[in-house]
Structure 1
Amino acid sequence: MTQTTETPARSTPPSSTPRRRTPRIHRAWFVAAVTFVTIIGAAAFRSLPGLLFDPLNDEFGWSRGTVGLAVSLNLALYGLTAPFAAALMDRYGIRKVVAVALVVIACGSGLTVWMDSAWQLLLCWGLLVGLGSGSMALAFAATVTNRWFTERRGLVTGILTAASASGQLIFLPLLSWIVETHEWRPATVTVSLAALVVVPFVWLLLRDHPADVGLKPYGSDEFVPKPAPVPGAARRAVTVLFKAARTGPFWLLAGTFAICGASTNGLIQTHFVPAAHDHHMPVTAAASLLAVIGVFDIIGTVASGWFTDRFDARRLLAVYYALRGGSLLFLPILLAPTVHPPMIFFIVFYGLDWVATVPPTLALCREQYGDDSAIVFGWVLASHQVGAALVAFLGGVARDAFGSYDVVWYASGALCAAAALMALVIRRRDSEQSVPAISG
């Protein structure tokens, strides 16, 4: 009798019991694959801004500063939306938030076809695409990685980060060809359609948590029940910010990542094509060089994830920023009407380092802030995009004022040197210290 009554007592509800038959390939890898494809589809919008400066100037007379302001707003909202999106994913689930974000991106990009005033560019490309893309930011990748993986997190982070570069690789040559042959409006429609095509994949294939399919996270020995939805997403995002802002590592991580954004999205991605065109390089050739950056970015970011699983993230960041800053100092003498071997070397080198900073930065967020790391990383990403936004705008203003981008390249190189020093002074958190999460 005693044995008979004790046997059911050891059972757990079906909703929290992992399946006994573990699939040969863990479901986490399929979720990561869907996430990769989703980020690729949403990355089309990232390929377009640098191609629009000259066409919008030719048609509407808008200066590079004016177009740069719209790109700046887009980049700033991309970052500032990320921590709230991470909290919304905790509240409503990854699938719903990402699907809505893709639709918003499609609407914002598609509506630019009918614009004829600069404020409409700010509204469509700056506000709508900025908000939608912010919900598709790296905080999305961080949330998926944190929920589905306990091992290989650095590698998976590198792979998902590289998805953005893959999108650039796929779309940039195509969009530059469309802009050259069919003008800019068909290119914006292409971006809109690319975002919409991904929505069914997200809705049908993406899952919010391993518990939804009765599995343990990849590499975990214990089944993790799906947590209850966290109410007050906005309040939680702000509360996490206030708590993190009282610590020194947060400001160092935010500062280094702001410089990362300034020297990549804000500088090269936004201004490289018009800067190369200033030196009489064809737009399609300059866009192809950016696409090559995307190729090597995949290699560099995945390798950085592998390194992050094995080496001190602080030293990795210092090396990445120092090398990036040094390469920028040589760029003014490399720009020319044609593509030559030293320029190809720069493109390959810069591509390997493009977002190699993401895996070690995210690893340091996990180390310092535990269960709140996805939201903290969202705020760190916000600083990344604020830095990108400032340089996207100021770079255009500097070009209008000085007639070249030289001062922007040199200033960005100096900032990268400062970021290398900042990374080295981030304190290490002892593994014994617990990092309590913040409740809603």
Structure 2
Amino acid sequence: MSLLGRIIGSRIERGTLAFFWPDGSVERFGIKTDGWPDVALRFHDKKAERRIVTNPNLGMPEAYMDGSVTVEEGDIWDLIMLVRRNAPWEAGAEVGARKPLARAGEWLLSRADQVNGIGRSRQNVAHHYDLSNDFYRLWLDEDMQYSCAYWPEEGMTLEEAQTAKKAHIAAKLALEPGQRVLDIGCGWGGTALYLASLMDIRVHGITLSTEQLALAKERAEKAGVADRVTFELVDYRDLAAREPESFDRVVSIGMFEHVGQPNFETYFACLRKLMKADGVALIHTIGRFGGPGATDAFTRKYIFPGGYIPALSETLEASEKTKLIHSDIETLRLHYGYTLRAWYERVVAQKDKVVAMYDERFYRMWIFYLAGAAAAFEGGGMCNYQIQFVRERRALPLSRDYMLEAERRYLGK
């Protein structure tokens, strides 16, 4: 039996996995099980096995991207889900487990990659978000929401779930007419425009992506709200120094993952500084179920350089040092998994256009990223947190009823 077979084969209890080797030999693992995928991989050279065994978190995606490993039965989604479902996080399993010394090295490299000064933060954002607005239009919802949607009901479309997410967040902000709202990491402007459509408020969105900024400004002009909804290319640290205590409400969706653990305390100090004394902030971020960890090599190299998925414990510890009060915390367990499934299906449906924009290797990289992320939310240790913060304990009503009432109102229910 191959070394890879000995490592992976024992993990596959349900569903089947086959390896087709260059010398014509075949290895098979698992048992056919209803509802579980059957996957076959073809190895086009023996070097691919060595790459995967020595560094599975980087070796497997690179072998797939380069074409030295191809999926003969099923697809990359099936492969990743098969491995992850046979080793769920809740059972104490760890996919791609490495020796303690290797894990320590990964942790150190991950931390070094997260030292995100203002200049480096801009480079990291450009790496991912400045790919092309046309690329993201191919597979995001109509409002171009590139973060976890909210799926309170079965059978929702991606568009419906993203609208539900915006309403869910808006309700937690306890908005009132006349307020000034800051959107940190505003993306293509969808949330800012949505909030401004709810009532007479002013919203200022900030981003480090030139592509996002241009489209956000264009959308505000077309909507006729450029006098109330503005966008700026600026780092949150610079804005905090320039406009202290200027905002009644602050929202940040899918941005905290890019801050980096060494910068957590700075982030929350700036958040507090930007808020008025009776202000409210809502942070929507990917998080970990367990304690602090490290960013895997594939994500660090190809997808989100400088990024880090925070544990709730280290997030709250950093916020507490600035005397911000976490007034409400919600854990969204499977919602990002559903969102990523929808994105994956849309990217696969647009394969020819994605390949024409970039190339086959980029396409394989992107679907590996989406499938791997979905598996992390459906069977791994990833989730989403929505954390509400206040500076003053009397800033909000004593019960959470106001959230439900506002959410229903925003959705017209």
Which protein has greater RCO, CA pairs closer than 8 Å, 6+ apart?
1
Compare the two structures and name the one with the higher helix fraction: 1
Give the shorter-chain TM-score range.
Answer: under 0.3
Compare the two structures and name the one with the higher strand fraction: 2
TM-score by length of 2: 0.24
TM-score by length of 1: 0.23
